[in-house]
């Protein structure tokens, strides 16, 4: 009898214990399920918020950029369109001086990406056409002396340019032309003047014992003239040699002590013809150009992205 009572008691304890465990597991499962649903809800809301804030409606903007940026910036634009497929970007490449003149003459432009501070300073301070707070330094570059493969040139760099049969050189309104002139002044090859960009090519030719100089309207033209062998040597940016390693040799990388920093600034331009969506897209693109994703592209094209904003 005692054994039977004891068995009944033990059975009751086991049932109560199992019920308690079952209740605990159920409560824990419910808690986990509630937590998971909450996390999923938060994640969904965050994704929705990011999607709404990141993807813009269909629009189109125009970007004026220095000729030396063409290869790199085309790739940056493709990268940008991976996250902003509805924004069509129309790039226009030329010398920064030419692009500045076009903006001043009323050409519709949403973003200006210059190869020098001078043109951006003019746009911002004289023309008052830079949107406040949107100007940023993006990359640095270096001026190099180049020749075509197999030229057999006697030129080794800037200081013996006079030994060339002909030189392709950008005019002073083109940033690389200005930097070249500045380097020659600092090297003692040209007399100092208030504005080195005003030094004409005939004066440079005389300083180089009468060597023939082919004056070019932008850096791409200089690169082409030398790569095709039309001119023996020329001065371009280091980034311009990307993809032409089999056609060009770099004779000298000119130091910053001679040229100064070769900073490329970008800014949103005040465009009276742009609607609110276009203005939003222009600012969004300017911000993307400063991103790590864009910097990685610029680095791969021989630009230096380690610059102070």
Binding-site sequence positions for molybdate: 68, 96, 219, 237
Q: Report DSSP letters for the chain, one per residue.
A: -HHHHHHHHHHHHHHHHHHHHHHHHHHHHHHHHHHHHHHHHHHHHHHHHHHHHHPPPSEEEEEEEEGGGHHHHHHHHHHHHHH-TTEEEEEEEE-HHHHHHHHHTT---SEEE-SSHHHHHIIIIIS--BPTT--EEEEEE-EEEEEETT------SGGGGGGSSEEEEE-TTSHHHHHHHHHHHHTTSS---S-GGG--HHHHHHHTTT-EEEEESSHHHHHHHHHTTSSSEEEEEGGGGTT-TTTEEEEEE--HHHH--EEEEEEEBP-TT--HHHHHHHHHHHHHHTSHHHHHHHHHTT-B-----
Which residues are within 8 A (CB) of 71 and not within 5 positions of it... i.e. 6 or more apart?
A: 242, 243, 301
* Lookup: tokens for 23: 């209740």
Place of tokens 């990406």: 113
What is the C-alpha separation between 95 and 197, in angstroms, rounded?
13
Task: Mark the binding-site residues, compressed into ranges.
Answer: 68, 96, 219, 237
CA 81 to chain centre: 15
- d(C-alpha 217, C-alpha 42), whole Å: 56
């Amino acid at each position: 009898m005692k054994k039977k009572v004891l068995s009944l008691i033990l059975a009751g304890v086991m049932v109560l214990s199992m019920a308690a465990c079952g209740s605990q597991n159920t409560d824990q499962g419910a808690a986990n399920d509630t937590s998971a649903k909450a996390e999923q809800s938060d994640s969904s809301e965050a994704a929705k918020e990011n999607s709404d804030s990141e993807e813009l409606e269909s629009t189109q903007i125009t970007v004026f950029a220095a000729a030396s940026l063409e290869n790199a910036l085309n790739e940056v634009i493709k990268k940008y369109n991976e996250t902003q497929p509805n924004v069509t970007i129309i790039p226009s490449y030329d010398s920064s001086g030419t692009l500045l003149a076009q903006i001043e003459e009323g050409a519709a432009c949403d973003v200006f990406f210059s190869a020098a501070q001078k043109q951006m300073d003019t746009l911002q301070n004289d023309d008052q056409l830079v949107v406040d707070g949107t100007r940023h330094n993006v990359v640095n570059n270096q001026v190099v002396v180049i020749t075509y493969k197999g030229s057999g040139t006697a030129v080794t760099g800037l200081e013996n340019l006079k030994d060339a049969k002909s030189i392709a050189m950008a005019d002073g309104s083109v940033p690389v032309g200005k930097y070249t002139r500045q380097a020659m002044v600092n090297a003692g090859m040209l007399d100092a003047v208030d504005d080195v960009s005003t030094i004409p090519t005939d004066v440079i030719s005389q300083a180089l014992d009468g060597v023939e100089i082919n004056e070019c309207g932008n850096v791409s033209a200089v690169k082409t003239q030398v790569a095709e062998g039309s001119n023996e040597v020329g001065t371009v940016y280091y980034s311009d040699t990307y993809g032409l390693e089999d056609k060009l040799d770099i004779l000298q990388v000119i130091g910053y002590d001679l040229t100064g920093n070769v900073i490329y600034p970008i800014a949103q331009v005040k465009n009276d013809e742009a609607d609110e969506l276009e203005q939003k897209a222009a600012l969004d693109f300017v911000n993307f150009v400063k991103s790590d994703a864009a910097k990685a592209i610029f680095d791969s094209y021989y630009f230096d992205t380690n610059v102070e904003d």
